[in-house]
Structures are given as C-alpha cells and as structure tokens.
Amino acid sequence: MPEPRYARRLPPPEAPTMRRLATPQDIDSVFALYMHEKVVPFLGYDPMPLEDFRAIYRELLGGGSFYVYEHEGRIAGFYRAVRYPGRVQHVACLGTLAVDPAFHGQGIARAMVTEAIDTLKAAGVKRIELFAESDNATALRFYDKLGFEREGTLRKFYKRAGDADYVDEYVMARLFD
C-alpha cells in the first residue's frame, strides 16, 4: 500500500553512542587516532610504528581504566581515568584523552568527557585532575567550559621530537562538594 502524501517520515534512529573499556581488538583504531597528525602532538608519545605502539597499548589496557567512546559504530575517542589510592582515593586523573578530528564540532568530546565526569562523581570522586599543554588552545578552552581551573604550571615539561623548545604543561582540576 502506498504511503499517503501527507505522511511524515521519521528520521532514522541515530547510532548509539557508548563508553566501554578498551579491548586488545581496538588497537588498530586507537593507534590510528593516537597517531593522527592533529592528535599526536598533544599525547604522551611522538609518532611511531604500530609495532612500537603495542607495548604502550598493553600498558593502557593493563590498568583497567582506558576507555573508548564509540559513535556511529566506530571509535570516536578515548580517555584514561585513573583513581588514586589511599588518602587521595577521592581524586581521579583524566588523561590520554582524544577525539577523532572527523567528529570535532559535533559534541562528541563534550559528551565523552561529561560522561566520564558523571561516572567518576557517582563513584565518590571529589576532585578530577588533568594536564594540558600550554599551546593547546582548543583543549584549554574546552576544559575551561567544563569547569576545570588552572592550578599550576609545570614549566618546560613537555618536549616533542623535532621541536627546539619545551612546552609548559598546565595542571587543571575540577572540584565537587
């Protein structure tokens, strides 16, 4: 039976977006994103071949705190959320954080980091820390909008291969009552 001319078509359902622990099978996607020319300058390692990255990836997985964020059926981003032990167990550190540049401007980073914050807060975290390079203006604006405040500067902390100068690293944090 033909559809009436006045029937309104509903848009197709959006692909689900979800956070999950990374698995060994994610290495190719994580590697491609980590080594992306717009991402790698702001993560902890310089460009390298996949074989060299395997040891780093095993370390990320070994902590049980490295998450991937899927959108539209593919890995759109990742981050690490580590909770400190003992007297500072109320503190977590977000790091190794990146979003695929193909998804920039679509709210993926905000959704991913907001979900991470909400999850940590629900688990009793009262302080979330992160570190950001002083020359990463986009990330600094993003973290400011999410309520993170600069608490200090680690001078000449970061050095990229091929760069003559060192880069300062900002310590940022967001506190909860």
Is pLDDT of 75 > 80?
A: yes
Q: Cα torsion for 36, 38, 43, 47, to the nearest 10°?
A: 50
**Encoded tokens for 53:** 């990255």
Supply the pLDDT for residue 71.
Answer: 93
Q: What is the pLDDT of residue 14?
A: 54
* The pair of three-digit structure tokens given for residue 64, joined into one six-digit string: 């049980």
- Where residue 123 falls among pLDDT bands split at 50, 70, 90? very high
pLDDT for 119 equals 96
Q: What is the mean pLDDT of residues 106-129?
A: 96
**Each residue of 6-58: pLDDT tens digit?**
444 444 445 567 999 999 999 999 999 999 999 999 999 999 999 999 999 99
At residue 95 the predicted structure's pLDDT band, cuts being 50, 70 and 90, is very high
* Average pLDDT score, the chain: 92
